[in-house]
Amino acid sequence: MNTISAIRFTETAAGVSFTLKVHPRARRHAVAGAVGEALKVQVTAPPEDGRANDAVVELLAETLGVKRRQVEILTGATGREKVVRVTGLSSAELAAKLPA
């Protein structure tokens, strides 16, 4: 796995967006570092009825210290690769809050 600095953050007026690779049905919730230019996250929820997406939003909000409404899944709601946007943080602040 690569370091967090390998993740490609896109900062706009609407917030910071980046790619996630999601591992549903994992043993525990965790931000597992970078995989290529994406952030790998593991959630225990199954990918059914949006439960894994909800768990991803909750995990990111908790990890980054923001409210759930500040984390939005932009694309990939039905797949393992997603693009998310976080508002209220710069890309530097976001990268600093992610575990190395």
Band the pLDDT of 3: cuts 50, 70, 90. Answer: confident
Ramachandran bin of 50, using left for φ above 0, alpha for ψ from -120 to 50, beta for the remaining angles: left
Does CATH place domain 4-91 in 3.40.190.10?
no
pLDDT greater than 90 at residue 60: yes
Band the pLDDT of 4: cuts 50, 70, 90. Answer: confident
pLDDT greater than 60 at residue 1: no
